Amino acid sequence: MPVNVNIIKPDGQQQTIDGSVGVDVKPTIGIKITNNNLKDYVFELTARETLSGDLMIYDHKDIDIVLMQEKKKIVAFAKDMLTDTVYGAESRMFEHLRQHGIVAYDSIQGGNIYGSMEAKILESKKYDSVKSALVEIANWFKEETPMMESLEDHDQIMDDALLDPDDEHATELGEVPHEEEKGSILQSNMFSSYMYGRYTY
């Protein structure tokens, strides 16, 4: 295809050259894409596998967590006794899992065991649902660790104050004399219905 090319010489004069320009395009281009976002995620959980294949996680101070691989369900139980602290921990965990797309929002409910809470794991065609749930449970434990450590430190401080008090909050044995009667309830000269209407002396 004829093309007019304008050339400007060093002395400032312009010259027009008639000619043709050939363009050689090579359609083959090699591209290698490396996804730097993909990496190994390493975490630690204290868990035990049951005979049915369920994973029992014991890392939390107040609750035990069971991840049912076959039923695709997560259940949380009270570790020792049911308290408001236990319910708070269960609620925080399932709220974290819901926000990160691990459990179905409308499946979070009380379990068939008193004080338990459960939810269904969402199905995924792209990721492993069980592994994703374990990763987010581990992330939730990282968020809970500072609070659990502060509670343990508080309990230790209270135990030390009770078992090993300082001089200001302690007395030597015998420093406080024993009294015959203490308290506001009299132990004598009282009418007792258990002694056939007699007075106690």
| Number of domains into which the chain is organized | 1
pLDDT, one tens digit per residue, over 133-174 is 988 998 888 888 777 778 778 888 888 888 888 878 777 776
Q: What is the rounded distance in angstroms from the CA atom of residue 55 to the CA atom of residue 137?
A: 12
Percent of the chain past pLDDT 90, that is, above it, reads: 18
Identify the bridge partners of residue 3 per DSSP, sorted by sequence position: 19
Structure confidence at residue 102 (pLDDT): 92
Structure tokens at 38: 């993909």
Is the residue at 144 inside a domain?
Answer: yes
Structure confidence at residue 94 (pLDDT): 93
Structure confidence at residue 149 (pLDDT): 76
CATH number at residue 71: 3.30.1360
Q: What is the rounded distance in angstroms from the CA atom of residue 179 to the CA atom of residue 197?
A: 29
Is the residue at 183 inside a domain?
Answer: no
Q: Please give the single-letter amino acid code of residue 139.
A: N
Residues with Cβ within 8 Å of 86's Cβ and at least 6 positions away in sequence, in order, are 62, 63, 78, 79, 115
Is the residue at 14 inside a domain?
Answer: no
User: Between the CA of residue 74 and those of 77, 86, 105, 179, what are the distances in Å?
Assistant: 10, 16, 13, 59
Residues with Cβ within 8 Å of 17's Cβ and at least 6 positions away in sequence, in order, are 4, 5, 7
pLDDT, one tens digit per residue, over 183-195 is 776 666 555 555 5
Is the residue at 125 inside a domain?
Answer: yes
The three-state (H, E, C) secondary structure of 122-159, written as one string: CCCCCCCHHHHHHHHHHHHHHHHHHHHHHHHHHHHHHH
Structure confidence at residue 9 (pLDDT): 56
Is the residue at 106 inside a domain?
Answer: yes
Is the residue at 177 inside a domain?
Answer: no
Provide the pairing of β-strand 63-68 with 55-57: antiparallel
Orientation of helix 84-99 relative to helix 129-163, angle to 10°: 150
Is the residue at 4 inside a domain?
Answer: no
Q: What is the rounded distance in angstroms from the CA atom of residue 166 to the CA atom of residue 169?
A: 6
Structure confidence at residue 18 (pLDDT): 54
How does the average pLDDT of the chain come out, rounded? 77
Is the residue at 16 inside a domain?
Answer: no
Range of the domain at 66: 47-162
Percent of the chain past pLDDT 70, that is, above it, reads: 71
Structure confidence at residue 122 (pLDDT): 93
Structure confidence at residue 11 (pLDDT): 58
pLDDT per 10-residue tile (average), the chain, 201 residues: 52 55 50 57 79 88 90 90 84 92 91 90 88 89 81 84 82 72 67 55 52
Is the whole-model pTM more than 0.75? no
